[in-house]
Amino acid sequence: MSTTKESVRQFKMPDVGEGLTEAEILKWFVQPGDKVEDGQVVCEVETAKAAVELPIPFDGVVRELFFSEGTTVDVGQVIISVAVTGGAAVEEPPAQAAPAAPAPAAETAETESEPARREVLVGYGPRTGAAQRRARKTAPAAAAAPAPVAPVAAAPAPVAAPAPQAAPAVVAEGARPLAKPPVRKLAKDLGVDLRTVTPTGPNGTITREDVHALVAAPAASAPVQAAAAPAVPTVAAAAPLAADHGDVRVPIKGVRKATAAAMVSSAFTAPHVTEWVQVDVTRTMKLVRKLKESGELGAGVRVSPLLLVAKALLTAIHRHPEVNAAWDEASQEIVHKRRVNLGIAAATPRGLIVPNIKDAGSKTLTELAVSLTDLIATAREGKTSPADMQGGTVTITNVGVFGVDSGTPILNPGEAAILAFGQVREMPWVHKGRVVPRQVTTLALSFDHRMVDGELGSKVLADTAAVLEQPKKLISWG
């Protein structure tokens, strides 16, 4: 049957950050049949650095969504197809007889470069010649609904047996199953024989979800897996899964996965040193109240103790610029940064992120307040861009908002120092020869001892404390 003349354009997962290889689809804003315009946001994805909205680069009608929400997709994979007018008519073959246990079929998407095809899942045409491995990390979604778990439990495939009809492809007896190296490693870690896994990826490629589905299947429906790894626990695939005794497993991905890798790398690469100092910040807290009441920094600008801590640290760095540095392992050089890009650690529902204020050292107090307000608001909305988290040189983490006095912060990779700002609380303090209640906080500075020795680190911490104890130093030292 001949359909209306149209051509199908495909939109691939772009590299939305510098060197990123994958992203998770958080939310679709369109469905098949919806009209879209050039520049319209069609979905939101989460990379290892941030959540990003993706605009479609052409007009048309959505034909197919290739992946469901919660699916991790490699950069370069097609995620959506759009029918645009002006192309040649697309010939669709007659419907084939349904197999005994069919998988949910989706309308197939075809480009003008594909002259012929047969019915396969989610729009991937058959490949002629010998099968080749393709980097597929997750199973595609059906066009109108999220993709179901691979049909392993309903029709398990024993070793060297033909695959169920629901699978889009099958591994021939004696042939090596098609799977990416990470999927092979996952299967090996879980004790899964890839020959027992029903593939749902294009051209018979085994995906992570296929392996997870086999592990999660009941022992009665997956006897080969049970024999291979009887003691291996279930691993979560796309969402937290309840396990025995109320345990819940949460997949490590996105921002949390990147943060974990960065922290491990930093902790075991840079020799950390942490120093502490208690500071009487009574005068700083009075200044914060006055700035709030006067509104002199501008309407809608957030004034908080963190603003003054940031300005104090920037003042200390101005006096000791050697602390604003990075270690270049390749060239065996210490790189002294000309600009201070001040990172602010922010806890979000997706994990810890550290956006930074570019060239913060050159900003006035008002400009710093505006930048800090915008940074916090953007982070809370989950709209921080990858660019906002790149190029940081020094960081502040505000643990005081959680009622914590101090800690030993881990450096962000590539940075030489990080300051922890503890809670401000009333304490007995010797002031002008008398013990009186004063507002006190604890500052902790961690630094990379390859670049920052004890003297330099101590001077930076002491100067930061001095500004917070006597805010008028912002004038004399600024």
**pLDDT score recorded for residue 275:** 97
From 138, 70, 431, 114, select the one nearest 283 (Cα to Cα).
431
Domains of the chain: 1-142 (2.40.50.100), 149-251 (4.10.320.10), 257-476 (3.30.559.10)
Tell me what the pLDDT averaged over the chain comes to: 76
Which of 318, 320, 336, 449 is the catalytic position?
A: 449
User: Which token pair is 40?
Assistant: 């319209």
Beta strands 205-206 and 178-179 are parallel
| Mean pLDDT score, 69-74 | 88
**First-last CA distance in the chain:** 77
**pLDDT score recorded for residue 175:** 63
How does residue 153 score in pLDDT terms, banded at 50, 70 and 90? very low
pTM, to two decimals: 0.56
From 248, 444, 252, select the one nearest 351 (Cα to Cα).
252
Phi-psi region of 397 (alpha: psi -120 to 50; beta: other; left: phi over 0): beta
Residues 177-229 have pLDDT tens digits of 887 767 776 777 677 888 888 888 877 888 878 877 776 654 333 333 333 33
How does residue 431 score in pLDDT terms, banded at 50, 70 and 90? very high
Q: Does the annotation count 272 as an active-site position?
A: no
From 77, 43, 35, select the one nearest 59 (Cα to Cα).
35
User: Which token pair is 470?
Assistant: 């006597």
How does residue 157 score in pLDDT terms, banded at 50, 70 and 90? very low
Check whether 269 has a pLDDT greater than 90: no
Where is average pLDDT lowest: 107-121, 175-189, 313-327? 107-121
Burial class for 405, CB neighbours closer than 10 Å (0-12, 13-18, 19+): middle
